[in-house]
Each structure stands twice: as structure tokens, then as C-alpha cells.
Amino acid sequence: MTEASNQRYGMDRPAVGGTVWGKIALRAGIAVLLLVAGGVFTLLGERALGGGQGANETRVYTYQDDWRIVCPPVTPATPNCELTSQVTNSTTGGVLLTLSVLDTPQGRQLSLTVPHGVMLDPGLGFTIGTEPTRVRPYETCLAQGCFALVTLDADTLKSLNGNMGGQVAVAVPNNPQAVAIPFTLRGFAQGYNELQRMKSRRSGFFSFLRG
């Protein structure tokens, strides 16, 4: 009787062990599924709040009506979103100035684009608040206009976040004085913080789903 019992228990042990490991595997599988489902539901919720835009569509977020983030679909050519603002002519509606935060091989910079027809040799004047004017050379002229770059170092970011506006000054032919183009910084700080967060998310685990 004892020998039969020992044999029976010896046969039962693998079955008991298999049941325990099966439960562990099942629980681990459920945890993984919940993690994936949570990420998918979060993504769906974000897209619902963002107007239901699809993975292949460009998304735009506006901050205080002055600065906006443009997020194109994620590709090797467009890995990040862009923070931008425009100054338009109140009479004609034409764009006088475009400011854009760009990630370049030299680091993060602020691009300042003005219309064609400016005098290139004097460069472009850039002022934040009441700070001294910085003169920046033009990099080149493209279809959108001629642009100069300002490096977004810690001091420049502090100034942009802490002021309400600034101006760009350009030299134009047959005008003895530079033409000043004021711009607003309302919404810049909020937009820049959000740009940092979006950059992290787009390079994260679910970036292939976010578009």
C-alpha cells in the first residue's frame, strides 16, 4: 500500500509542477496583454482627443493662437515635430516672418525666415524683449524666403521663455532704416515644453503606432 502510494505521488508530482508553471505562464501572458492593451487604449484616446486623425496624417496643436506644433507622420526624414509661429501682414495677409524650432546636426536652433528681396549682406537683426540686438548672417534663400539661424542655448531659451515678445530687423533696398518685424512669444514656453515631450514619445516604444 505504501509502495503504491509512493508510486502514485511520484507520478503526480510532474502534474502538480506543470500546473504551477502553467499558472505562472498564464499570469505573465495576461500581464503582457494588459500592458499592450493599455498602450493601445492610450493611443486611441489621444487620437480621439486630437480629432481622430490617422497615423499617416499631419497633426497640428496650437498654443495661445500664436505658436503651434506641427507633427508630420514619423519617417526617417521627419523624425520630430516642429514648433513654429508666423507674422502676417494685416493688410495683404502675406507672411512677413516665420519662426521655427529646428533640430539640426549643429543642435537645436531657431530659424528666422523673411521674404525675398531683403539685403543679404547686412544680415538679420534679432532681439528678445529689451535685450541687445544680435546680428545673424543669412544661411541661404529657399522658395519660402531667406533665413538665418539662432542657436537655442540655455540663455536664449531662458530669454524666450521669460519674455512676451521680440522683433526681427531686416535691411531692404532704397530704405535708409531697417524694417522691424515684431513677433509674440505668447505660447512659446508651453509649446516648447510640449515639443520636448512629443519628441520623447515619438522615439519611444510605440512610435511605430503613433505616426
Q: What is the mean pLDDT of the chain?
A: 79
Dist CA 211 CA 207 (whole Å): 7
What number is the average pLDDT over the span 70-89?
85
pLDDT at position 103:
87
Among 39, 44, 70, which residue's Cα sits nearest to residue 57? 70
DSSP state, residue 78:
B
Grid cell 508630420 — which residue?
72
Q: Assess whether pLDDT exceeds 80 at residue 210.
A: no
169 pLDDT more than 80: yes
